[in-house]
Structure 1
Amino acid sequence: MSMKPLEFDRRYGELDIVVSAFVGQEPDGPDADTPPPALQAYLRHTWHTRPRALSVAEQQLREYARNPPGRLRLRLGEFYPVPDVGLPESRTQSWLFEVADHIKRSIESGDVPPPGPPRTHWEWHARFPELGQLLGGWFSQDMPDEFSDHDAAVRDYKASTDPQVTARLVGEIHELLALDLEEHDYTMGVAELGMEVEPPAPLSVARWLESVADHLAVARPDYGKEG
């Protein structure tokens, strides 16, 4: 039978996050001493948000590499099946050890990557999860068929989302704008986060995001409370 969520997280939770960061990316770096870009993205995000998770990742990667599951246990769902990251099956075990070694060196050296803009699809979504929900859910290619305009989609998001989550989204937008990227980079970023329509003319992506944050930051009146 399949492994229960709690047991899965204890044994493979952080391993799954690390490997997911490699999906669609090159599994190897330019040389043995340099972490691949996908791992650099994981390290950059995790050092600044969940530094204690790094040692868990190193341990889970190494333990899995030491005790790879057989085909039967994989089929029964008792082990974590490593997603395809573009490596032959015979290379996976040594690759996991290499990734664990990179993480160990980063921990032991205290080499914290400086803050910077996301550089992979995984990192964009890990850093701006709620913005990804808004853009991918309300501004997909179907948006013109569902809403009269961009403002209507934003109003619908606000009406259907908990105010605390909305506040988190506003913070993510301000964090993204604080990166002070070129317009081309903002366009690429919102596309990575799921936006499939252009911002309303004549606004740039950055200016439109700023207007969305301004609109959502307005407190929603609560008529259920007495003054």
Structure 2
Amino acid sequence: MGDYRAALQDVTTGFQRTGQPAGSIAAGYAAEARFILVDGKLASFEKFQIKPGKPKTVEAYISTITKQMSNGATQAQSVANAYEPVFPYRRPRWTIASYVRQGRAYEILARSILNTPVVIPSDLQRVLRKADEYEREDYRLDFEDKVRQVLDTQVRPVECFAVARYALAARAGRAGSFDDDYTRIAIDRLQAYGDERIAECIAEAQAADATFQGYSPGEFTRSPRGKPLEIRPGIAPPAISKENN
């Protein structure tokens, strides 16, 4: 594995030495090598989970999951950032793949937040033991509901990061008439969110980046295989060079 990674690194450094332009065939090999070099970080992050353990107090529970969510956010950002060096090569296939991987990194974090176990802390358990049957159920449901509300608030911006990256991947795919595994993943994941949620997330992306193109309802509807959808006026992907076969 060490020799393989060294060989991949040689491809990227060799491209730099040649001085060939971005978008060239040589840039395609370098982009693929760079992509493979960083892709292992995502596989490791797939295992990320939030584990509150057995908290003694409500405060300890909140503190633990908050700290782990923050750690997860840092990891997701690190994984996503690792793909950034792929973009300057301006090769559509690997640009799209990198956008999809970035979206996946944020979805892993979002999934982990939503799957956070709701654990009744020891101090609350003592209160529940003193309550009657109906009060216990009310207290438990109220606690779980409040935790889920907090988790939902935390997960929404993370989901929007994922939606924005998938949108960039889908738009780049259409611009280059690409229909491969990565473009299909991008469209499939976007469809899972639905028009209203996509519109919300792209509006957030626009608020952070004025160059981010607006959303048209139905923009990411799947087209028949091999027949790219028409790109609507005003919908522009990031600039990329044409892929050479």
The two structures have a TM-score, normalised by structure 2, of 0.23
TM-score normalized by structure 1?
0.24
Larger helix percent: 2
